[in-house]
Amino acid sequence: MRLRIGIAQLNSHVGNLNENLNKAKKAFKFAEENEADLLIFPELFLTGYPPEDLVLKTGFLNDSRNFLKQYIDYTYGSDVISIIGNLDFEVDAYNTAYVIYNGKEEAKYHKIYLPNYSVFDEKRYFSPGKQPLMIELKNGLKIGVTICEDIWVPNGPAVELAEMGAHVIVNLSASPYTKEKPKSRLEMLKTRAAELSTWLVYTNLIGGQDEIVFDGGSVVINPFGEIEHSLPLFDEKVDFIDIDPISSTRANLREGKRRHLLYDNHNVEIKIIEKEPNKKRKILKGNKRVNLMEKYEEIYKALKLGLEDYIHKNGFSNVVLGLSGGMDSAFVAALAADAFGSDNVLGVLMPSQYSSRGSIEDSILLAKNLEMKTHTIPIRRTFESLLKELKVAFEDLPMNVAEENIQARIRGTIVMAFSNKFGYIALATGNKSEVATGYATLYGDMAGGFSPIKDVYKTEIYKLAEYFNKIKGKWIIPENIFIKAPSAELKPDQTDQDKLPPYEILDAILERYIEYEMSIDEIVEDGYDIETVKYVIKLVDLNEYKRRQGAPGIKITQRAFGKDRRMPITNGYKIWR
């Protein structure tokens, strides 16, 4: 006996119920054409994930219910069972998987384990479910239903489902991307399937949603923890595989793992569906090869997908950014040109009396290589005019950071002028090293509607730029940008290292302090100078107010600034004193 399973690894759009419904219908029709027995969608697919405070709107809850009904009606007359994620609302709201068959809601499962860490706030919005769900087909085949976090928890509902004889456990997921997470997630899923002696069908969401990127990587794993089918990272796909569900019984008889499970009083809802898998068809074999990516290819794909979806889902088609001749703006321009096409990217050069000839030439060469449009707007006269107006108020005090920031704010004003005039979204180009230490100007180079590299350390930007040139097969980002010392060029002979440690040291300290929450003593134990560590931590702590006002950007680390890392601005805990 074979069970044909369809995996709908699709990109949903939060709040766009009609678009999501149409994608669900298209996937369902495709499943019918491929004679699937079962079609699995990602978590909360119809509403998009995460819906956040939309869940608090009764109108949205009612609309999501109406669109679910439209999907249910669409399935009438079909022999495909589908399991789709949507909201449920009774006394409270629930993150729900609906089991649909032949125009009818056969069962629904409320997610039991609600994550409330990192970017997750599910306990703010949902009540937890109380009962696992098992579907039993006419021939006795048992399919357990879980949602995302349920499978991450070692003693979650999958354990009870396995003990009750589940041949297959499906998991509707919306698991966000972070660096190298696809590999660790895959290892967890393999372990879970093997320890429960059951087939595991994992369907993950794809696409960008504000700061979050969902990377897909859906898999089917057999009861021995071996991959039988895999879908690509960062791409939409609906695909199918035939599995032998009874192999889970054979695995358990051979290894007896389920005999050691601890549940005594079972609380599983069992729903019988009068369906039997089609026996007369050619067996579809799976793609057993998992295409895990090299580190910087993976990060690049995540950034590109996150940027594409943020721009397009918010109704934009063109972007504008300042070109300084430095690595950050060069990489963001290259990323944007790759994502949207060079014709839809506008670069603005804004040289001052402190801009080096090399930086201007590098920007021009970059734009030529990318075949993107540019405008050059010198800022010297505007800057000098403002200094003249401020001369009396400034009382002939020596020039300091105030005059430096005026230049950055002039540039920010010009970029935003292009944004307003032509309806382009402005991209900020600050990296995580700068954002962390406050080495950026509020309302200046921080100005923009989106900040695609705000969670990427400076040292990683160079690696990503190398990767970009490698995939293009030539020096698109000019060689000189890699060689010259980073500089804001806001005063004569300025470099970043006038105020910051070398980036190799800075980034290592930042990673330990921000992502791993290490103390000063713990970071020093790793071999870093105590005064340097204190200085870096001081910069991070004092610039929380800046980060709170910055544009959103793509999360790729375990602790990204924004909704992920939530530190108080008014904070008397100063460990660097």
For 145-194, the pLDDT digits (tens) are 999 999 999 989 999 999 889 999 999 999 999 999 999 999 999 999 99
Distance in Å from the first CA to the final CA of the chain: 69
Q: Which residues pair with 221 in a beta bridge?
A: 200, 227
For residue 279, name the pLDDT band (cuts at 50, 70, 90): confident
Q: Which domains does the chain have, with CATH numbers?
A: 3-273 (3.60.110.10), 295-495 (3.40.50.620)
pLDDT tens profile 182-240: 999 999 999 999 999 999 999 999 999 999 999 999 999 999 999 999 999 999 999 99
The single residue of 111, 142, 432, 454 carrying the catalytic annotation is: 111
pLDDT at 414: 97
pLDDT, tens digit, 9 for 90 and up, residues 104-139:
999 999 999 999 999 999 999 999 999 999 999 988
Look at residue 265 in the predicted model and tell me its pLDDT.
61
- 287-306 as b/e: b if 16+ CB within 10 A: beebeebeebbbbbbbbbbb
Catalogue the E-assigned strands of 174-230: 199-204, 206-209, 212-215, 219-221, 227-230
Cα–Cα dist 263/243, whole Å: 28
Q: For residue 438, what pLDDT is reported?
A: 94
Return the pLDDT at 440: 92
CA distance 87 to 14: 12
State how far the Cα of 340 lies from the Cα of 317, in Å rounded to an integer: 8
pLDDT tier at 262, thresholds 50, 70, 90: low
Q: 503-524, pLDDT tens digit by residue?
A: 999 999 999 999 999 999 999 9
pLDDT of 289 reads 85
Amino acid symbol at 135: I
346 touches 418 (CB < 8 A)? yes
Burial state string for 251-263 with b = 16 or more CB within 10 A and e = fewer than 16:
bbeeeebbeeeee
Tens digit of each residue's pLDDT (9 = 90 or more) over 57-104:
999 999 999 999 999 999 999 999 999 999 999 889 999 999 999 999
CA angle 335/337/340 to nearest 5° reads 105
Sheet harboring 227-230: ordered strands across?
227-230, 219-221, 199-204, 168-173, 142-147, 133-137, 269-273
The whole-angstrom separation of Cα 233 and Cα 293 is 9
Q: What is the DSSP letter of 454?
A: T
At residue 261 the predicted structure's pLDDT band, cuts being 50, 70 and 90, is: low
Give the Cα separation of 237 and 240 in Å (integer): 10
Q: Where residue 264 falls among pLDDT bands split at 50, 70, 90?
A: low
Cβ pair 131, 268 in contact under 8 A: yes
Q: What is the dihedral of CA 469, 475, 477, 478, to 10 degrees?
A: 150
Is residue 68 classed as helix, strand or coil in its secondary structure?
A: helix
Count Cβ atoms within 10 A of the Cβ of residue 503 and give its class: 0-12 exposed, 13-18 middle, 19 or more buried.
Answer: buried
- Cβ atoms of 112 and 122 closer than 8 Å: no
Query: Which one of the listed residues 35, 108, 122, 148 is annotated catalytic?
Result: 148
- What is the rounded distance in angstroms from the CA atom of residue 481 to the CA atom of residue 366? 9
* Segment among 275-279, 332-336, 427-431, 545-549 with least mean pLDDT: 275-279
State the angle between helix axes of 401-422 and 380-394 in degrees (0 to 180), rounded to the nearest 10.
Answer: 130
Which residue's entry shows tokens 């396995």? 162
Largest CA distance in the chain: 90
Percent of the chain with pLDDT over 70: 98
Q: Where do we find the tokens 């706030």?
A: 121
Which of 175, 189, 182 lies closest to 226, judged by CA?
A: 189
CA angle 363, 422, 375 (to 5 degrees): 25
Nearest alpha carbon to residue 47 among 19, 76, 70, 83: 19
Upstream peptide bond of 501 is cis (omega within 30 degrees of 0): no
**Catalytic residue from among 35, 43, 298, 434:** 43
Does the pLDDT value for residue 489 go beyond 90? Answer: no
Quick one: which of 288, 272, 330, 283 has its CA closest to 480?
Answer: 330
Give the tens place of pLDDT for each residue, 366-388: 999 999 999 999 999 999 999 99
DSSP 491-517: STT--GGGTS--HHHHHHHHIIIIIS-
| Cα distance between residue 435 and residue 413, in whole Å | 20
On the CB side of 305, CA atoms within 13 Å amount to 25
Q: How confident is the model at residue 561 (pLDDT cuts 50, 70, 90)?
A: very high
CA proximity to 83, closest of 63, 66, 101: 101
Percent helix, strand and coil across the chain, each to the nearest 5: 40, 20, 40
- For the segment 321-345, the average pLDDT, to the nearest whole number, is 96
> What residues contact residue 393 under an 8 Å CB cut-off, 6+ apart?
none
| Secondary structure element (H or E) that encloses residue 269, with its range | strand 269-273
* Per-residue tokens: 215: 């990377």
The mean-pLDDT minimum among 7-16, 260-269, 327-336 falls in 260-269
- Rounded to two decimals, the pTM is 0.94
Alpha carbon distance 161, 146 (integer Å): 9
Catalytic site residue 148?
yes
Cα-based distances in Å from 437 to 501, 509, 538, 572: 11, 11, 8, 18
In this model, does residue 458 exceed pLDDT 90?
Answer: yes
- Residue among 115, 125, 113 nearest 88 (CA): 125
- Average pLDDT of the chain is 94
Please tell me the predicted confidence (pLDDT) of residue 90.
Answer: 87
Dist CA 566 CA 569 (whole Å): 9
Point out which residues pair with 375 in neighbouring strands: 348
Tell me which residue of 468, 562, 555, 516 sits closest to 179, measured CA to CA: 555
> Per-residue confidence at 259, pLDDT binned at 50, 70, 90?
low
Do 415 and 422 form a contact (C-beta atoms < 8 A)?
no
| Virtual torsion, Cα 163, 166, 170, 175, nearest 10 deg | 10
